[in-house]
Amino acid sequence: MSTKGNWSPPAVSGRLFTFGLVASWYSSNIGVLLLNKYLLSNYGFKYPIFLTMCHMAACSLLSYVAIAWLRVVPMQTVRSRLQFLKIATLSLVFCGSVVSGNVSLKYLPVSFNQAVGATTPFFTAVFAYLMTVKREAWITYITLIPVVTGVIIASGGEPSFHLFGFIMCVGATAARALKSVLQGILLSSEGEKLNSMNLLLYMAPIAVILLLPATLVMEENVVGITMALAREDFKLIWYLLFNSTLAYFVNLTNFLVTKHTSALTLQVLGNAKGAVAVVVSILIFKNPVTVTGMLGYTVTVIGVILYSEAKKRSK
């Protein structure tokens, strides 16, 4: 029996499977981002809290189907009231992150939204420093300088800059980082750790319960308005259903890519995903960009790459 290099059928099929997963992860991530922008800004559906609640409702249903019926992963149970409270806390922060991100898309182009979102490592490092005894090597903190500097440059060169949208986008980025740090602190013991799919299974229904009163108070009669809009253009219902389903597949493909590659690979792919999302959004929405803005975003991405490399070497 002879083999030629690594091109055995199992190896080829394995590579194709991984490539398919990565392509699905890219498509769902960029797709939900662009569709959110289209609905909230271009289409004129001005209800980001209700949109987030639709996402969470879809994640609740599809998570249960994937785990309880399809058995994508074994179901993990919540073992105590304290663990449930910890999950509810994470869900609250998660809600804040997604709602703020969707609100920001009403006012900011996707390209600038992604530039600000790339500063997640900066906020993660700050919260980790403030909330835990863990300290990084000094070189790791130095690499955060270009991460922040790039956003400052991009802000100055952004022709569609909107202060409230910028504040919401920074808030979403900070909340995303806070959720990551809190998850490491709150669910640190072996008995409490949940994989990301099971965590979503419990977080999503809690998020729906948290978002429902906020929707009713802050987006009055949104269901009636949505139905009235749907009677004029039924495509809105399909947009919402597809968008909500995509929101779940972002989480599913995120889990599967990490499982079949590594967390580091996902981080590298994530850096590239931001750049792809920027290019695609500019081509679709044709929002104006400046050399200064693109320079700022490039500096931020370089800073994120340096930060990831410094973190890897310090381990």
Q: What is the pLDDT of residues 144-153, one digit of tens each?
A: 999 999 999 9
42 located within any domain: yes
| Residue 6: band (very low, low, confident or very high) from pLDDT cuts 50, 70, 90 | very low
Q: How confident is the model at residue 4 (pLDDT cuts 50, 70, 90)?
A: very low
Residue 297 lies in a domain: yes
Which CA distances in Å does 29 have to 90, 126, 287?
A: 21, 26, 20
Residue 23 lies in a domain: no
Q: What is the mean pLDDT of the chain?
A: 90
Does residue 9 surpass a pLDDT of 60?
A: no
For residue 266, being part of any structural domain is answered with yes
- Reading the block at residue 26, the tokens are 């890219």
- For tokens 């001005």, what's the residue? 46
Q: Between 272 and 283, name the one with better pLDDT.
A: 283
pLDDT band at 10 (very low <50, low <70, confident <90, very high): low
Mean pLDDT, to the nearest integer, of 24-31?
Answer: 94
Q: Which of 92, 95, 104 is nearest to 169 (CA)?
A: 104
CA 15 centroid distance within chain:
25
pLDDT of residue 1 exceeding 60: no
Q: Is 72 a member of any domain? A: yes
Q: Please report whether residue 8 resides in a domain.
A: no
Q: Which two tokens stand for residue 273?
A: 């995903």
pLDDT above 80: residue 97: yes
CB 196 within 8 A of CB 251: yes
Query: What domain count does the chain have?
Result: 1
How many Cα neighbours within 13 Å face the side chain of 271? 19
Higher model confidence: residue 289 or residue 249?
249
Q: How confident is the model at residue 263 (pLDDT cuts 50, 70, 90)?
A: low
Q: Which domain holds residue 107?
A: 34-314
Residue 1 lies in a domain: no
Residue 2: pLDDT over 50: no
pLDDT, residue 264, reads 64
pTM for the structure as a whole: 0.89
How big is the chain, counted in residues? 315
Query: Does some domain include residue 216?
Result: yes
Q: Is the pLDDT of residue 5 over 80?
A: no
Q: What is the pLDDT of residues 178-218, one digit of tens each?
A: 999 999 999 888 888 899 999 999 999 999 999 999 999 99
Sign of CA dihedral 46, 49, 50, 52: positive
The pLDDT of residue 152: 93
